[in-house]
C-alpha cells in the first residue's frame, strides 16, 4: 500500500456461489397486440369523420360515416312495399278461405247432381288460384329487398371491431371512397408483441409460455414478457425461427415500432462463482478485479466464464466470500488504500 495515499471511496460486493443463468440477447421490434384496418364495404361519399388520430375508440364505434341518404330512401320505400305486400297477404287469405268454402259447397252439390262437372272444375280452379302462395312470395320478396337496403344502410358506417387507439386516418368529408380500400387503422396497445428471430442453436431452449426479460432502450425500462408463438420451421431467408413475445402494457408506455432487447435463457450452471459484471475491468488482453482486504485493493487477474446481463462467471482467481470493488475501480491500482462506502 502506498504510504500517505488518500483512501479511494469504493463500493464492494461479495463473490457468490450458486446457480448461474446464461442468457442470449436478441433484438426485435414491438407491434400492437391487436390491429385492424378499416375499409368501407361499399363506395360512397364521406359525410363525416367522427374521430381523430390518437382518439380512444370502443368496439363497434362508428369512425367514419358515409352519405346514407340514398340508402335511407330505399329503406323507406321497401318498408312501404312490405306493408302493401302484407296487406295483400291478408286480403289473399280471406279470398283463399272463401274459395275453399265455395269448393266444398260445390263438391257437395255435384255429389247430389245439382251442378255440372264444368261448374265443379271452375270452383277447383278458383281455389287453386287463391291458394297459389303468390301473396306470401310477394311478402318474402319485399322482406328481402328491405333487408338488403337495411344492410346497405349499415354499410354506410365504417366501424371498428376492437377497442383501442386510432393510429391512422385517411378520409375527409366530401371525399369519395372505394370499397375495400383501407382508410383507417385502430391498434390495441393494452398488450404489445415483440417479434424476433431465434437462431437454430437456441431454438430448442425457447418454449411457448416461457417468461423472458424485455428491455426497451428508448424508455430505459425492462418488462416481463411471455413467449406466445414459436415457429416450427426456420425462415427460408434468415435461417432463423420467428418467435413472438407478448408484454402487458396497461399504461401504454410501449408503442408500436419501438425496438426491444429480449433475453432468452441459453443454459444454466450449478455451483458457479460469480461477480457483478461491473466488477470486471479490461486491461488489454486480460481481465482483472480489485479484491479488497483490510482497507487495501489488490489487483487480481481472473479467468472469466460465461456471462449474462448482470453477472460474470469466475473460473479462476477468486473464492466465495471475497469482496470485490463494483464502483470506483477505474480510480484504482494494485495495493491502493480504499474506503468502503454505501
Q: Does residue 242 belong to any structural domain of this protein?
A: yes
Q: Which of these three, 267, 295, 317, is where a domain ends?
A: 267
Q: Does residue 3 belong to any structural domain of this protein?
A: no
Is 267's pLDDT higher than 80? no
pLDDT value, residue 197: 93
Q: Does residue 1 belong to any structural domain of this protein?
A: no
Is 268's pLDDT higher than 90? no
CATH number reported for the structural domain that contains residue 238 in this entry:
2.40.30.170
Q: Which of 77-81, 151-155, 296-300 has the lowest mean pLDDT?
A: 296-300
pLDDT value, residue 76: 95
Is 56:165 a contact under the CB 8 Å cutoff?
yes
Average pLDDT over residues 61-66: 96
Is 92's pLDDT higher than 70? yes
Q: Does residue 333 belong to any structural domain of this protein?
A: yes
Same domain for 258 and 219, yes or no, is yes
Same domain for 289 and 257, yes or no, is no
As a whole number of angstroms, the distance between CA 134 and CA 84 comes to: 14
Same domain for 258 and 328, yes or no, is no
The cell for 6 is 488518500
Same domain for 233 and 281, yes or no, is no
CATH number reported for the structural domain that contains residue 286 in this entry:
2.40.420.20
> pLDDT tens, 201-260?
889 989 999 999 999 999 999 999 999 999 999 988 889 999 999 999 999 999 999 999
pLDDT value, residue 5: 63
Is 162's pLDDT higher than 90? yes
Same domain for 80 and 140, yes or no, is yes
Is 4's pLDDT higher than 60? no
> pLDDT tens, 26-61?
999 999 999 999 999 999 999 999 999 999 999 999
Average pLDDT over residues 13-36: 90
Q: Does residue 165 belong to any structural domain of this protein?
A: yes
Is 275:291 a contact under the CB 8 Å cutoff?
no
CATH number reported for the structural domain that contains residue 49 in this entry:
2.40.50.100
Q: Which of these three, 236, 267, 298, is where a domain ends?
A: 267
Same domain for 55 and 166, yes or no, is yes
Q: Does residue 97 belong to any structural domain of this protein?
A: yes
Q: What is the dihedral of CA 181, 185, 191, 195, to 10 degrees?
A: 60
Same domain for 276 and 237, yes or no, is no
Is 36:162 a contact under the CB 8 Å cutoff?
yes
Q: Which of 49-63, 95-109, 157-171, 219-233 has the lowest mean pLDDT?
A: 95-109
The cell for 131 is 291458394
What is the per-residue DSSP string for 250-313? Answer: TT--S-TT-EEEEEEEEEEEEEEEEEEGGG-EEETTEEEEEEEETTEEEEEEEEEEEE-SSEEE
Same domain for 238 and 213, yes or no, is yes
Same domain for 263 and 273, yes or no, is no
Residue 181 banded pLDDT, cuts 50, 70, 90: very high
CA nearest to 189, candidates 213, 218, 223, 164: 164
Same domain for 280 and 319, yes or no, is yes
Q: Does residue 317 belong to any structural domain of this protein?
A: yes
pLDDT value, residue 265: 85
Same domain for 58 and 79, yes or no, is no
Same domain for 134 and 176, yes or no, is no
Burial class of residue 207 (count of CB atoms within 10 Å of its CB; 0-12, 13-18, 19+): exposed
Q: Does residue 146 belong to any structural domain of this protein?
A: yes
Q: What is the number of domains present in the chain?
A: 4
Q: Which of these three, 144, 166, 181, is where a domain ends?
A: 181
CATH number reported for the structural domain that contains residue 83 in this entry:
1.10.287
Average pLDDT over residues 313-322: 89
Average pLDDT over residues 110-137: 87
Structural domain harbouring 298: 8-21+269-340
pTM of the model: 0.66
Is 165's pLDDT higher than 60? yes
Average model confidence (pLDDT) for the chain? 91
Q: What phi and psi values does residue 107 have, to the nearest 5 degrees? A: -65, -35
Amino acid at each position: 500500500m502506498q504510504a500517505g495515499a488518500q483512501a479511494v471511496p469504493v463500493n464492494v460486493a461479495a463473490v457468490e456461489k450458486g446457480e448461474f443463468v446464461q442468457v442470449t440477447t436478441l433484438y426485435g421490434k414491438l407491434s400492437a397486440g391487436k390491429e385492424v384496418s378499416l375499409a368501407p364495404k361499399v363506395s360512397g361519399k364521406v359525410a363525416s369523420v367522427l374521430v381523430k388520430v390518437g382518439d380512444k375508440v370502443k368496439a363497434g364505434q362508428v369512425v367514419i360515416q358515409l352519405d346514407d341518404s340514398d340508402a335511407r330512401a330505399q329503406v323507406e320505400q321497401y318498408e312501404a312495399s312490405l306493408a302493401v305486400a302484407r296487406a295483400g297477404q291478408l286480403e289473399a287469405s280471406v279470398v283463399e278461405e272463401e274459395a275453399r268454402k265455395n269448393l266444398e259447397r260445390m263438391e257437395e252439390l255435384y255429389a247430389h247432381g245439382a251442378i255440372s262437372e264444368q261448374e265443379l272444375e271452375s270452383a277447383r280452379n278458383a281455389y287453386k288460384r287463391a291458394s297459389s302462395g303468390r301473396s306470401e312470395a310477394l311478402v318474402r320478396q319485399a322482406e328481402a329487398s328491405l333487408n338488403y337496403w337495411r344492410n346497405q344502410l349499415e354499410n354506410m358506417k365504417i366501424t371498428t371491431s376492437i377497442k383501442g387507439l386510432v393510429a391512422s386516418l385517411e378520409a375527409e368529408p366530401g371525399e369519395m371512397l372505394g370499397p375495400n380500400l383501407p382508410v383507417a387503422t385502430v391498434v390495441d396497445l393494452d398488450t404489445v408483441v415483440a417479434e424476433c428471430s431465434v437462431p437454430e442453436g437456441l431454438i430448442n431452449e425457447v418454449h411457448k409460455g416461457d417468461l423472458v426479460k424485455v428491455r426497451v432502450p428508448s424508455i430505459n425500462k425492462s418488462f416481463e414478457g411471455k413467449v406466445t408463438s414459436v415457429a416450427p420451421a426456420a425462415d427460408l431467408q434468415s435461417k432463423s425461427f420467428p418467435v413472438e413475445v407478448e408484454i402487458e402494457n396497461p399504461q401504454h408506455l410501449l408503442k408500436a415500432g419501438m425496438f426491444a432487447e429480449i433475453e432468452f435463457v441459453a443454459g444454466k450452471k450449478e455451483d458457479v462463482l460469480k461477480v457483478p459484471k461491473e466488477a470486471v475491468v479490461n486491461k488489454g488482453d486480460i481481465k482483472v478485479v480489485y479484491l479488497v482486504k483490510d482497507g487495501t485493493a489488490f489487483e487480481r487477474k481472473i479467468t472469466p466464464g460465461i456471462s449474462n446481463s448482470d453477472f460474470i462467471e469466475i473460473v479462476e482467481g477468486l473464492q466465495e466470500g471475497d469482496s470485490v470493488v463494483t464502483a470506483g475501480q477505474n480510480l484504482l491500482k494494485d495495493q491502493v488504500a480504499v474506503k468502503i462506502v454505501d
